A and B are shown apart, each in its own frame.
Chain A
Amino acid sequence: MLVSLSKRLNGISLRINRITMAFACLFLVLMVAMICLQVIARYGFASPPAWTEEMARYAMVWVGLLGASASFHENFDPSLSKIPETFPRWLRLATALVRAIAVLVFLTPILWYCFFGPGANFTRGFLSRNTTMVAETIPMPLIFVAISVPIFIVVTLFHGLARTFSTLAELPIRTDLNDKSTPHETD
């Protein structure tokens, strides 16, 4: 029962992650395209369009937040300690519980305030405010950027749920990023 539920959850988590990654790559390509367009326009025309830089920034926000959920799924987030497989089961469960609480405590308030404003009023929430506010250089409502925040949180919470079940059911965690042999960081 626990094993099959856990397998199911992790299967969905894996599929969601692939979709997330696909969109993250798309936004990254968009970002490169915007920047290159800006260079071409600077030297091809009198003055570069004003919106390339702003659009590139918004694409970057999407890349970053989708990438953050993928990074969580891939267990790529740097941490200060590792829990070895050889630890007793109760200790592994206890640490998994603390990790789950940490994710929940950090992300749930942000998610709540995406939807609700002062006095738990929906029309004053972060998303609602951004439906009418517009970008600086083109008349695009900022909701198209703001929505990335709750999407990141919901996806990450789901990955966290699936992973907690994996620990409970003692299943290995599957991730997508191959060739882990060349770990890399940005430092």
Chain B
Amino acid sequence: MPIIPLLFLFAAIMSGAGIAYFVGSASVIAFVTEDHARFLAALPQRVMGQLNVFAFLAMPLFILTGELMNRGGVTEALIKFSMSIMGRFKGGLGHVNIMTSVFFAGVSGSATADAAALGNTLVPEMEKQGYDKDYAAAVTAASSIIGPIIPPSVILIFYGALMNTSVVALFAGGIVPGLLLAAVLMVINAILAHRYDHPGGRGAEIPRFFPALLDALPALSLPVIIMSGILMGFMTPAEAAGLASVTAILVGWYYGRLKPHDILIALERTAVLTGAVFIILVAIATFGYLMSIEQLPQALVALIKEMDLSKTQYLLMLNVIFLFAGMLMDVKAALALLGPLLIPPAILLGVDPTHMGILIGFNLTVGLLTPPLGGVLLILATVLKMDYWRLVRGVFPFLVAELILLGALIFIPELTLALPRYLGLLT
């Protein structure tokens, strides 16, 4: 056992060092203690090689699009439009919250961006109408993870790049599971609305449908551009993302909300965020290189062969592992670390790579809603200045429903694969 690197790893984690830096430094120490120090010479090229990847191009551009959209008045227009459809029902604002997340998902690739945007706008509105804060925050959290399932999705781009799988097929694969997720959450919201007698319609001003639609059209045009462009094959995901960010500027200008200063901030935040992601990637690549030298992937494949698991058994095991990983780790770190090790054996056992990608994406985003380190929960607790554990309790019924849906997605691959197959994206 490499005791020294592990001890340092523990110390660095507890000291509050960034994920990239504790993974990177512990790996470097392990290179030395395991007598592989000369291989450190490969690191500079490894940094370049990890980042200089065609499939990653779409990631910063979709982040930029989301940033521009958030600043450009899009959230309000989407809320109003959802209101005009669902506002009249019992628990209406809960439905509006979920529906807005569906529309938001078509623009943004991020659950935390969704949670922050709706936490700032819709939760205060729900409180005003008589929902208790815990519930309002819980619906916001639970529905935010629709974001990375319905394309565009940073996690799916990441998966596609790591596993050499078509991002387009993954995007098509996410649509039905994302809509199912929204439907399941709406059912839970409706049940809870009756049990707790949530307000519905009364007192609320329901915007008229057509004016609201008209107002939301520029915002809704984005998902249409992105989806049709990519799925019909007019553009690569990166091209669609580039075009989307330009469109986002135009839309923000149309709503009269986006100032040059906002664009600058959006650019800066995108750069910083991309950097935070990329440096984690570099650190994980350092660790991955050490494992490759030690031939760990081959050993793991041999071990899995020896265990003689069926396809379904291995898939279930994988889902449990990723679920726990999602609870403990940053989503991208978990994917970069475990993906290249654990996913290839599943593909060898006959799991479809696209199906796998959606399952892993779903799985890891559910981890954003679970303690101890649920990213969405942490952000909402900060934005709304509320107790973390109360939020955890509030999310629980939704979480159970999401896990049941995950089970359905595991056992019925067609839920994921029918659409990409219909579009002819799978061979």
A touches B in complex, CB < 8 A = yes
- Please pick, from A31, A102, A110, the residue contacting B44 in the complex, using a CB distance under 8 A: A110
- For B365, the chain A residues whose CB sits under 8 A away are 187
Q: How far is the CA of A4 from the CA of B184 in the complex (A)?
A: 59
Whether a CB of chain A sits under 8 angstroms from the CB of B1 is no
Knowing A103-B17, A184-B110, A187-B112, say if A64 contacts B269 (CB, 8 Å): no
Residues from chain B with Cβ under 8 Å of A149 in the complex = 44, 47-48
Query: Distance in Å from the Cβ of B23 to the closest Cβ of chain A?
Result: 8
Decide: A183 and B271 in contact? CB cutoff 8 A.
no
A67–B275 touching, CB < 8 Å: yes
Q: How large is the interface on A (under 10, 10 to 19, 20 to 34, 35 or more residues)?
A: 35 or more
Q: Please state if B275 and A69 are interface contacts (CB–CB under 8 Å).
A: yes
B22 at the interface (CB under 8 A from A): yes
Residues of B within 8 A of A63 (CB): 60, 270-271, 274-275
- In the complex, the answer to whether A68 meets B275 with C-beta atoms within 8 Å is yes
The interface of chain A, by Cβ under 8 A from chain B, is 21, 24-25, 27-29, 31-32, 35-36, 38-39, 42, 53, 56-58, 60-61, 63-72, 74, 76-83, 94-96, 98-99, 101-107, 109-110, 113-114, 117-118, 126, 145-146, 149, 176-179, 181-187
B40-84 Cβ-contact flags toward A at 8 Å (1 or 0): 111111011001111011011101101100100000000000000
B273 touching A67, Cβ below 8 Å: yes
Instruction: Please indicate the chain A residues that have their CB under 8 angstroms from the CB of B269 in the complex.
Output: 177, 184
* Complex interface residues of chain B between 22 and 45 (CB less than 8 A to chain A): 22, 24-25, 27-29, 40-45
Q: How far apart are the CA atoms of A176 and B272 in the complex, in Å?
A: 11
Asked if B279 is at the interface (CB within 8 A of a chain A CB), the reply is yes
Q: Report the Cα distance A184→B242, complex, angstroms.
A: 20
Inter-chain CA distance A61–B279, complex, in Å, is 11
- Who on chain A is nearest to B23 by CB? A106
Q: Are B16 and A99 in contact (CB under 8 A)?
A: yes
Contact mask B99-123 → A, CB, 8 Å, 1/0?
Answer: 0000000000111110011001000
A155 to chain B, nearest CB (A): 11
Q: Are A74 and B148 in contact (CB under 8 A)?
A: no
Could you pull out 22 A-B pairs where Cβ atoms are within 8 angstroms? A28-B271, A29-B267, A70-B268, A76-B272, A77-B18, A78-B330, A95-B15, A103-B17, A105-B29, A114-B44, A177-B272, A181-B383, A182-B70, A182-B116, A182-B117, A183-B112, A184-B66, A185-B113, A186-B332, A187-B331, A187-B332, A187-B364
A74 and B109 alpha carbons, distance in the complex (Å):
23
Chain B: interface residue total (CB-CB under 8 A): 91
| B239 close to chain A: CB less than 8 A | yes
The 5 closest A-B pairs by CB, nearest first: A67-B275, A77-B18, A35-B242, A106-B24, A68-B275
* Majority-rule SS of A interface residues: helix
Contact, CB under 8 Å: A56 / B272: no
Within 8 Å of chain A (Cβ to Cβ): is B212? Answer: no
Q: Kindly provide the distance from the CB of A178 to the nearest chain B CB, expressed in whole angstroms.
A: 7
- Would you call B246 an interface residue if the criterion is a C-beta within 8 Å of the partner chain's C-beta atoms? yes
In the assembled complex, how far is the CB of residue A106 from the closest CB belonging to chain B, in whole angstroms?
3
B70 — which chain A residues lie within 8 A by C-beta? 182, 184
Are B154 and A98 within 8 A (Cβ)?
no
Least CB distance, B14 to chain A, in whole angstroms: 6
A65 in complex: contacting residue of B20, B40, B51, B111, CB < 8 Å = B51
Q: A109 CA to B292 CA in the complex, in Å?
A: 19
Contact of A35 among B27, B48, B241 (CB under 8 A): B241
> In the complex, what distance in Å separates the CA atom of A139 from the CA atom of B185?
54
Extra contacts, 6 of them, besides A31-B242, A146-B48 (Cβ < 8 A), are A60-B60, A80-B13, A96-B15, A98-B11, A102-B12, A183-B383
